[in-house]
């Protein structure tokens, strides 16, 4: 058995649902799959002693899950006062409108199409609820609207799908772009190195205890994949499907359609930089 401390980011073992930091509680959505891992992590955030909470990524449109999130907050003496989205993929955002109905909250997101209420989210924004402070960190790449949320008091960052608790994420081409994604990873590395962030609260998978290690692993993985794709093209594999079958031969075939999105993003990046 592999020691979790030896894995990228030092994933925390044990049950995924429940308290993760002094201010963050996870409610795991019942939507496990090859792409969503154990399911979507819906985060309830609240300052200790406050009766107000923020929910990040209500998850899929599953009424049982959405009500369970509300009940979990209420059992802790909290009222959900605001809903935030890391990005618009359905496994994170599909239930947001229904959740807003259940809680009477606004929904804030980068994409105007996902918002309920007048306020969006963008670079430099600070969300303050009941003494809780969240700093908005734009992290495009997985999607163009991807955001992370820096929780300074817990030295933590909520990463949505930008960094997962297990494995690596997809650059969802054409909306997602690899150059943007690499810049976003470097931005997260800066949070770890310069701002003391050590805990990753991901959109899927376990909590990571070593934010810098996780981001360094992601950057190394992307560099390795880019080199593999470049070599594959040099060896005559020109279409995305051909590159996937060559570079991702050791990956479960059920994940090849997602891998092809990343390959398209990699090919675009290599072309734009004159490398192929």
Backbone angles phi, psi at 130, to 5 degrees: 55, 35
pLDDT at 5 over 70: no
What pLDDT, on the 0 to 100 scale, is given for residue 14?
79
Told to judge if 91 belongs to the known catalytic residues of this protein, a careful annotator would answer yes
What is the separation, in whole angstroms, between the first and last Cα of the chain? Answer: 41
Over residues 173-189, mean pLDDT: 98
Identified catalytic residue from 38, 57, 62, 91: 91
- Give the count of beta carbons closer than 10 Å to the beta carbon of residue 252: 9
State percent of the chain over pLDDT 90.
Answer: 92
> pLDDT for 78-131, tens place per residue?
999 999 999 999 999 999 999 999 999 999 999 999 999 989 999 999 999 999
Gyration radius of the chain's alpha carbons? 19
pLDDT at 3 > cutoff 90 = no
pLDDT tier at 1, thresholds 50, 70, 90: very low
- How far, in Å, CA of 181 to CA of 261, rounded? 13
> How far out from the chain centre does Cα 3 lie?
24
Q: Tell me the per-residue pLDDT of 36-75, one tens digit each, with 9 for 90 and over.
A: 999 999 999 999 999 999 999 999 999 999 999 999 999 9
pTM metric for this prediction: 0.95
- Does the structure show a pLDDT above 80 at 245? yes
Averaged pLDDT score across all residues of the chain: 96
- Cα separation of 70 and 227, whole Å? 46
**Mean per-residue pLDDT for 144-170?**
97
Query: Which contacts (CB < 8 Å, 24+ apart) does range 13-21 have?
Result: 13/206, 16/41, 16/205, 16/206, 20/199, 20/201, 20/207, 21/151, 21/154, 21/156, 21/199, 21/201
CA distances from 129 to 49, 53, 66, 111, 241 (A): 12, 7, 21, 21, 47
Asked if pLDDT for residue 21 goes beyond 60, the answer is yes
Instruction: Copy the structure tokens of residue 105.
Output: 């909250």
**Lowest mean pLDDT segment, chosen from 7-11, 13-17, 144-148:** 13-17
In whole angstroms, give the CA distance from residue 267 to residue 244. 11
Cα separation, 274 vs 172, in Å, equals 22
């Amino acid at each position: 058995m592999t020691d979790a401390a030896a894995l990228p980011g030092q994933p925390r073992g044990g049950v995924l649902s429940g308290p993760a930091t002094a201010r963050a509680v996870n409610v795991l959505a019942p939507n496990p799959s090859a792409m969503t891992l154990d399911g979507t992590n819906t985060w309830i955030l609240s300052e200790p002693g406050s009766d107000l909470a923020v929910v990040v990524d209500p998850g899929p449109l599953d009424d049982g899950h959405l009500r369970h999130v509300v009940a979990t907050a209420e059992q802790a003496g909290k009222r959900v006062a605001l809903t935030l989205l890391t990005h618009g993929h359905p496994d994170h955002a599909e239930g947001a409108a229904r959740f807003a109905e259940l809680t009477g909250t606004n929904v804030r997101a980068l994409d105007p199409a996902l918002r309920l209420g007048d306020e969006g989210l963008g670079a430099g924004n600070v969300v303050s609820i009941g003494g809780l402070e969240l700093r908005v960190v734009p992290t495009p790449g997985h999607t163009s609207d991807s955001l992370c949320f820096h929780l300074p008091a817990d030295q933590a960052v909520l990463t949505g799908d930008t960094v997962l608790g297990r494995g690596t994420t997809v650059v969802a081409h054409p909306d997602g772009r690899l150059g943007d994604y690499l810049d976003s990873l470097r931005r997260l590395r800066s949070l770890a190195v310069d701002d003391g962030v050590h805990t990753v609260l991901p959109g899927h998978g376990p909590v990571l205890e070593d934010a810098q290690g996780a981001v360094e692993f992601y950057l190394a993985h992307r560099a390795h994949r880019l080199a593999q794709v470049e070599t594959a093209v040099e060896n005559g594999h020109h279409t995305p499907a051909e590159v996937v079958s060559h570079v991702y031969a050791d990956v479960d075939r059920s994940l090849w359609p997602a891998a092809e999105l990343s390959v398209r993003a990699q090919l675009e990046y290599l072309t734009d930089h004159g490398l192929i």
